[in-house]
Amino acid sequence: MAVAVVNIIYWLASLSFIVGLKQMSHPKTARKGNNFMFIGMMAAILVTIILPYQSLNGNLVWILGGVISGSLIGLKLAQKVQMTEMPQLVSLFNGFGGLGALVIAFIELSNFSIPIMGAGIRYFVLLMTLVVGSIAFSGSMGAFLKLHGKWKDKRSLSKKYLAHFFLLTCGILIFVMVLGELNNRLIISVLCISAGAYGIFFVGNIGGGDMPVVISFLNSITGISSALAGLIFDSQIMLISGILVGASGTVLTIIMCLAMNRSIKQVFLGGPISKSKKNSSEEIDKVVQEIGYSDLAMLLAFSKNVIIVPGYGMAVAKAQKVCKQIEDQIRSNHVDLKYAIHPVAGRMPGHMNVLLAEANVSYDKLMDLEEANEEFKNTDVALVIGANDVINPAATNSEDSPIYGMPVLRVWDAKNVIVLKRSLSTGYAGVENPLFNMENTKLLFGDAKDTLVKVCDELKSCI
């Protein structure tokens, strides 16, 4: 009877995950979907703890202690984290999910007896759980350090080859251990360390501009590690939830790769090492045109169509709410304003969407890449706030550029392009941007939030 009850609740919890994911595909139902999945997960956890109570042998206090302390830590983090730090938080969550699978696999391997008739497949699954969990943990911690600015973004061939070496080492060790029926704690530790080293060098050799792809990839392998752990314990709920996370993360990784003109192979093996070539001396010697606060305010107030292009600079400056204020001001003057969102703008998928939603920007005003590129042709002003690589025309016309072929927002098709930047430094990809030298482009230097506040003040006298 107890087993039937557990299975029914697991089935209902799995259904809540699927329904919740569907609801999270649209901002209007995302919160509801998140709550729906939370209820399903809590039900699955509670039934897992409560129903087999007799077999816990006094460990219930430890289990509940872990659940409660972990929940309190998560709640505290969620309350304190800034929206600009959300990518770091996601990386931490990914990492701890991988660490959980790693610990489970290591303990099970330590107690595993070989040879056992028919145990080869189970042994292989345990080893794969150990490897994938270790990669997810170390890679996510590396991504966290990079996103937090604690790990400098320096790529090299040595990191690339070391990543390949440790990945190959993992493959050889698994092959030898399964076929040779070896279950030695020292070898298991070497396998775990090799997988962790691969995760570190894999992330270490990927540029900061590729972080959205990395986060999606690490999210997918964390789900895979959970699914493998579900196979170990014959847990339907772990298997289903892991598959959902792994599948959605994989699909998102593919979408991100297409958006950045990268292949899955390049990401998986640590990315190519290519140096951006400098623009011609003619382009570098050109003096950029600047614009003042009042001129920008006048231009925005008396345009018909304006498109704001947000980037990570907007997130760092926390300027999304000021963008909304500008939107409200110029709308009162019958100006049509929309937002163009590049799939990999920011440091994680959907980063800009979340920030703008926090500022109560209507989801209907957000345009994706293809729609925005059509709209730019009829736009009076394209206002770029802290974006760089995703608006670089070199991606379309410079075959020597490392980002050539990457789909970008064609802001230069607008009549006027205004770029808000702190300086003329390159973006996260380290590539020069010839957009800044174009005749229809003007720059306004400074902190994005401070700049937009001053533009807001100027707009009051224009409207």
**210, 295, 389, 413: which is the annotated catalytic residue?**
389
Q: What angle do CA 267, 18, 94 make, to 5 degrees?
A: 40
- pLDDT means per 10 residues, the chain with 463 residues, are 80 90 81 90 84 60 83 84 77 88 87 61 87 92 83 74 91 88 84 94 74 80 86 82 88 79 65 44 61 93 94 88 93 92 80 86 90 94 91 86 84 95 73 89 93 92 77
Q: List, in sequence order, every residue forming a beta bridge with 310; answer none if it has no partner.
A: 385
Say what the pLDDT of residue 279 is.
44
Longest distance between any two alpha carbons in the chain, whole Å: 83
Residue 383 contacts residue 308 (beta carbons within 8 Å): yes
Say what the pLDDT of residue 56 is.
57
Tokens of 184: 């030695």
Strand order in the sheet with 336-340: 366-367, 336-340, 305-310, 381-385, 416-421, 441-445
DSSP string, 194-263: HHHHHHHHHHHTS-GGGHHHHHHHHHHHHHHHHHHHHHHHT-HHHHHHHHHHHHHHHHHHHHHHHHTT--
Tokens of 161: 């080859």
Say what the pLDDT of residue 371 is.
93
Q: What is the helix (H) or strand (E) element at residue 75, kind and residue range? A: helix 60-80
400 is catalytic: no
CA distance 160 to 341: 31
Instruction: Name the 3-class secondary structure at 280.
Output: coil
Say what the pLDDT of residue 273 is.
41
Q: What is the DSSP letter of 422?
A: S
Q: Which residues contact 308 (CB under 8 A, 6 or more apart)?
A: 323, 327, 337, 338, 339, 340, 383, 385
